[in-house]
Structures are given as C-alpha cells and as structure tokens.
Structure 1
C-alpha cells in the first residue's frame, strides 16, 4: 500500500516524514535493543521478510492504488508494537526502492497510513481485550488475530482513499465506489491469514509471539 508522491503537495510529504521520524524515534527509545533474545530476533526478522514477500503479490486497478495483504496485525502480535513499526517502515521502503511500488518520497505518508495506524490499532485492541475481556485463548485468536486483521486493513484502505481524495487527482465518491470495495474484500483473506498463522505459532512456537503468554491464556506455569 505504498503511495505515489505525485498526487500530494510536497509540504504534505515533508510533514508526514517529520511526524513519522518522531514516532519512530519514540518507538526506538522503548525497545530494549541489547536485551532481545535469539527467538525474539528470529521471529521478528522472519515475519518482516515473509510479509515483505507477501506485499509483492499485489494488483492495481488505478495507478497509485495497490491492493495486497497488509500483515501489520500479525507483526504487532509477533514482535510487539514498537518493533512492528520498524518492520513496517522497512517493508515500505524496500518495496518502494526494490520493486518500484510507490515512491520513496512518500514513504513517510505511506508508513503513517499503512504502518503506524494498523499497528497502533491492533495494539490498543489487544490491550482493551486484556483489560475488559476474559484472558481466553479463543478471544486472543478470533478477536485479536482474525477480527483485528480485517479491521486494520479496512481502516487502512479507508484512510488511503481519504488521503488520495484530498489531492486534486482523485475524487472521494469514485474512490469509495470503485476502490474501497477491494479493500473490504481483502479484509477476509487478511483475517484468515493472520489468524491461521498466529494460531500455528502459538501452538508450536509460542516463544516467537511476543503478545502471547501461556500463563495468561492457558494457565500454564
């Protein structure tokens, strides 16, 4: 979901990049870089690489709008909010420079819409469920994996349409009628892919999923 720079004023791109830099600096200060274990690093780097490859399976109907699975919810559940934010930045920048999907100049804006928003939304949905709902394995899987994955890609698609509509090149009604339905349909494979993979990981490699705790969800000591 990399954006092209052409439709947006240069001031927007600079402002988005500055905001993205501040948010990444804040996230970087919260990560315990020197204390990360080998399983944490392996799962983080592996998930980032797999989702980058997943981004290459995309289609485009209108120039500047690409449709593909997002993976932000899965990254947040596996690596935690702050590391997932860095992963999404790497994915967006490499996707733009390596494959030419989008422009590097718009990476800050792309990251805010397709990185910071879905990762942060997934994070707060997890926190809300942990505070207000029973610590149940099925709640974690169906709400925080399946449902959160779908909700995040729908939110990202809507924000991308709104951002493009703010430029002179696109009309909001056309975007909502002709483009947003594709994002809505992507919500179902996003939910299935996120939920299935997180389920497999918490069963076979729970130490790879930072947001999952055996004692909390399964009552294991």
Structure 2
C-alpha cells in the first residue's frame, strides 16, 4: 500500500482539509506497506480456515430465503474508487430498492438467518475477498454508499486516502447504529446530519494517530466487542 503523490490525487481531494492528514500519512509510508502485507497474509490464512464455515452459512442463506448468497452494493474506497462490496445477504432480495440504504433495528427486510448473522457480524466475513483485492483493509473507515459520500464535507475526503476497512473505532462505538435510527422519520437525513459526523470524528482521529500497533489493538477490541 503506497500513498499516491499529492499531485496524483483526484481533484476533489486536493483541498487544505485533506492536506493536513496527507502530511501525517506521508511520514508513515513504511507502516502503510506493512499494513498491506499484513492484510494479504492474514486474509489468505482466514480464507483457508473459514472456507467450510462460510460454505455452511451460504447454504443456510439459500434455504432461508430466495435470492443470492452475497449482497453486492456499490461502495466507495481509496481515492473515491467505486467497488462492489462482498457481504452475506441478510435481507430479502432487492432490499435496497424497497427502503433506505442504512438499516434500522426493527427492519422488516431482515431475514431470520440474516438477523443471526448480523448479531454476530458474520455477514462481514466475505469482505476478506475485498481485503485480498486491495479494495479494503482489516482496519479503516467503513465503506460508505455512494449517495452518502456525495454529501461529504471536505475534511471527510481524508478518509479516502486509505482503503475502507472491515472494522474501526467508529464501527465499535456505533455497533448499535440500527437502534439509533429506529425512531427516525427520515433515516437518511438523520444518518447524514447526526450519525455520520459522529463516526467521522473517530475516523479522522484514527488517521492522525495511525500506527500498526493501534490497528492490531483495534482488531482485538472488535473481537471482544462481538463476543460481548
């Protein structure tokens, strides 16, 4: 993982707000390379270990409801690149066409098996494929849907200097995000104006304090949070 030269960044990212974070990360290029090495090695090992459990989950999803095994929504990662994320499908087929992109706690679109997978965050397992491809990392800002990235403030673009992540401090703090949005009349509006700014504070702080050690600690915190 090598940080691009400033001149080669997309034009929308070349702003003073992003420059502050770019300067911090440019001094840690060695750690960024090590981060990518770690992602490739660990994701390869996990694929071998989790191949059978993921196969069992895939069968459960197909038996529980009609539709594909994977949910492939378009998300945004490094430098604004669009990609289709891998997640186990936890909702009825075409759920994003009959409701909001974000999910609330009592969402009727969630399937029976999907509810179990979400509770244990097992729906995130296929993102190992996205880590191997380089579209994601184990730790980083959760990949947002295109419609929300289009509403980013200039400073938020700094999170696109690094790949999107499977977990982050923000995702731990907002693990009950669906419940927070339960009472909202306009889910998208509340998410953009209230939830997203809160998550971005943690994401931007993580960029300022980036280190491999901190990321390893965060992965352990994520595991403990899921177990709890």
Structure 1 length-normalised TM: 0.36
Higher helix share: 1
Q: Looking at both structures, which has the greater relative contact order when contacts are Cα pairs under 8 Å and sequence separation is at least 6?
A: 1
